[in-house]
């Protein structure tokens, strides 16, 4: 058949039967050598499909030019497909497991971002140019915004206005003619557009023109590798300069491999920096207190983010106020005071700095209440 049809590809499905039918290892090796000789003479690329798992020392594993394992990874009720290359003779393949999906267009493999990032070792071009948030007083506090190509994290309590800050950041870019991308996990595009509209930010026209894309997925059974691939492809394809990820908690929720979050995020933000995308991530604090939730990656955020901002509710004289502050900014010289943040139908504005004396009085008062018998 091979000689008659001049086949370019031969697939032997169920190679286990061939292995089982050979009484000795030598017999199987002889078969493999003959097969090798035949298909190489005919330039016929051959795939042996076998249910064997792992790089075991079977003769077929030794004699083949490439060894690829397809497997499944299970976490709770969730199951994903994975591919691992044990060997490709003469090739420098990416080590480790990678996710693949089976869809209408066949198999799509998503090389693990950490492996790609390590292999490419691209160095980002640190820029001194500043990127404005489009909130005048906030730009004053940050002395012009954040560095171009930097990654910013905004920590904040639920409902405190993190998304609105992000929308301002994106809207400013859109008005400057930049290509922008929003990656969301909670508010659907329609809700986000409506929310923006309520504070006089018109996103719809920019979506229509293609200047703004929204990638939205509820943080359920979606592949973080597929999402990262989609995001980076859009950034590369449209030359996106501003990215708003709302929020980091959703991204962490879909990283199903235990212990992978930190390395994945390191690779992801590295890719963003290399693309010179100024990125803005929101991260949710609990309703009460400022401790990060359990799903967070361990270790300090400062490794991932050049800039960290904190937005939280503070009680002053019995009234909850929004208070925003810069915790860290790559360039020096920012205003480190806590400031009141106001939200109106015109969007976010920054008010007066919160009086230190007033805050101290509140802290003393709160401590006194807590210490009452």
Which of 25, 37, 55, 236 touches other proteins by CB under 8 A?
37
Of 119, 115, 117, 145, the C-alpha closest to 132 is 145
Which of 17, 40, 78, 355 touches other proteins by CB under 8 A?
40
* Residue 291 main-chain phi, psi, to 5 deg: -80, 140
Longest dimension (CA), the chain: 94
Selected range binding other proteins among 40-48, 174-182, 232-240, 277-285, rule: CB under 8 A: 40-48
Write down the H helix ranges in 85-161.
113-120, 136-141
**Of 41 and 55, which has the nearer Cβ to other proteins?**
41
Q: Is residue 3 close enough to count as binding other proteins by CB under 8 A?
A: yes
Of 350, 348, 351, the C-alpha closest to 167 is 348
Selected range binding other proteins among 35-43, 102-110, 204-212, 345-353, rule: CB under 8 A: 35-43
> What span, in angstroms and rounded, lies between the C-alpha atoms of 183 and 245?
5
Write down the H helix ranges in the chain.
2-5, 15-21, 25-41, 59-63, 113-120, 136-141, 162-175, 189-198, 204-209, 224-238, 248-253, 261-274, 356-370
Q: Is residue 38 close enough to count as binding other proteins by CB under 8 A?
A: yes
* Residue 138 main-chain phi, psi, to 5 deg: -70, -35
**Least Å from the CB of residue 187 to other proteins:** 59
**Least Å from the CB of residue 261 to other proteins:** 47
**Least Å from the CB of residue 43 to other proteins:** 5
How, if at all, do strands 180-184 and 319-328 pair?
unpaired
**Of 34 and 361, which has the nearer Cβ to other proteins?**
34
Selected range binding other proteins among 37-45, 77-85, 151-159, 236-244, rule: CB under 8 A: 37-45
Query: Reduced to 3 states, what is the DSSP secondary structure of residue 106?
Result: strand
Selected range binding other proteins among 31-39, 126-134, 154-162, 291-299, rule: CB under 8 A: 31-39
Selected range binding other proteins among 29-37, 207-215, 230-238, 250-258, rule: CB under 8 A: 29-37
Q: Is residue 33 close enough to count as binding other proteins by CB under 8 A?
A: yes
Which of 10, 18, 42, 327 touches other proteins by CB under 8 A?
42
Q: Are 330 and 348 in contact (CB under 8 A)?
A: no
**Of 3 and 56, which has the nearer Cβ to other proteins?**
3
Which of 17, 21, 25, 34 touches other proteins by CB under 8 A?
34
Binding site for other proteins (CB under 8 A): 1, 3-4, 6, 33-34, 36-38, 40-43
């Amino acid at each position: 058949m091979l000689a008659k049809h001049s086949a370019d590809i031969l697939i032997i499905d169920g190679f286990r039967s061939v292995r089982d039918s050979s009484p000795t290892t030598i017999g199987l090796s002889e078969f493999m050598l003959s097969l090798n000789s035949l298909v190489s003479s005919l330039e016929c690329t051959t795939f042996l499909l076998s249910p064997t798992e792992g790089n075991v020392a079977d003769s077929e594993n030794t004699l083949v030019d490439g060894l690829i394992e397809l497997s499944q990874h299970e976490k709770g009720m969730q199951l994903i497909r994975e591919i691992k290359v044990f060997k490709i003779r003469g090739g420098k393949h990416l080590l480790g497991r990678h996710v693949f999906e089976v869809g209408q267009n066949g198999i799509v493999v998503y090389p693990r971002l950490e492996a790609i990032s390590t292999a490419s070792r691209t160095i980002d071009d640190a820029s001194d140019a500043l990127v404005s948030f489009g909130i005048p007083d906030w730009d004053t506090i940050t002395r012009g915004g954040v560095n171009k190509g930097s990654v910013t994290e905004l920590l904040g309590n639920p409902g405190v206005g993190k998304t609105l800050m992000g929308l301002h950041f994106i809207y400013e870019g859109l008005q400057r003619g930049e290509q922008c991308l929003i990656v969301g996990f909670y508010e659907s595009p329609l809700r986000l557009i409506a929310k923006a509209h309520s504070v006089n930010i018109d996103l719809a026209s920019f979506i229509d023109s293609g200047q703004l894309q929204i990638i939205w997925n509820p943080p359920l059974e979606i592949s973080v590798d597929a999402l990262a691939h989609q995001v980076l492809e859009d950034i590369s394809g449209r030359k996106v300069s501003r990215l708003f990820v709302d929020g980091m908690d959703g991204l962490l929720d879909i990283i199903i491999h235990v212990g992978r979050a930190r390395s994945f995020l390191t690779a992801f933000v590295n890719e963003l920096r290399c693309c010179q995308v100024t990125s803005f991530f929101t991260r949710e604090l609990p309703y009460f207190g400022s401790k990060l939730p359990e799903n967070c990656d361990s270790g300090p955020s400062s490794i991932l983010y050049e800039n960290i901002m904190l937005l939280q509710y503070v009680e002053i004289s019995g009234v909850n106020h929004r208070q925003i502050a810069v915790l860290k900014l790559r360039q020096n010289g920012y205003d480190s005071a806590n400031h009141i943040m106001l939200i109106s139908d015109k969007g976010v504005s920054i008010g007066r700095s919160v009086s230190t004396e007033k805050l101290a009085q509140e802290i003393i008062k709160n401590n006194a209440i807590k210490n009452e018998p």
